[in-house]
Amino acid sequence: MMPDPAYFDTERWYDEYVLLLPVKAGTVIRQGALVMVNAGYAQEAAAATGLVALGVAQETADNTAGTDGAVSVEVRRGVFRFEVDPADPPTQADLGKDVYATGPNTVGKTGTGRSKAGRLLRLDPGGYAWVEVW
C-alpha cells in the first residue's frame, strides 16, 4: 500500500481550450470553421451523422496531398458565433438546447442526419447563434 502523499503532482494540459488534431487525408480545414472528428481525424463540419465537434480552427490546414494525420490543425474550444441555417433556424425557446451542424459555419435546430455542434447560448439579430462547443 502506497503512503498517502501530502500533495499530488498532477500535470496540467498546456491549455485546456486548445487542441492539436490530426487532419483527415484529402481535406482542407479553413480558419474559423467548426471542426469535427470522424474516426479520429479532423475535418470541417458538415451535415452528416457520426461526427464529434471539438472546436473552431485557429488556422487553415491543407492536407489535400497528405495521408491521414500528415498535417495537424489547432482548434479552440469555447463559445463561438455561427450563422443560423435559414431552412432550420433555432428559436429563443431552444436556448440551452443542442444545435446541429449544417455546414462549416452554420447550425440548425434539428438533429436528423446531422451531428451535434454544441449548446445554444444566445441568438442575435441578423441570423447568428452563439454556441458552446466543448
Q: Which residues contact 100 (CB under 8 A, 6 or more apart)?
A: 47, 107, 108, 109, 110, 111, 114, 115, 116, 117
What pLDDT sits at residue 9? 75
CB atoms within 10 A of CB 13: 8
pLDDT digits (tens, 9 = 90+) for 82-124: 999 999 999 999 999 999 999 999 999 999 999 999 999 999 9
| Residue that wins the pLDDT comparison between 134 and 39 | 39
**What residue type is assigned to position 56 of the chain?**
V
DSSP conformational letter for 30: -
Do 55 and 79 touch, CB atoms closer than 8 A?
no
Rg of the chain in Å (alpha carbons): 17
pLDDT digits (tens, 9 = 90+) for 52-89: 999 999 999 999 999 999 999 999 999 999 999 999 99
pTM of the model: 0.88
Residue 129: band (very low, low, confident or very high) from pLDDT cuts 50, 70, 90:
very high
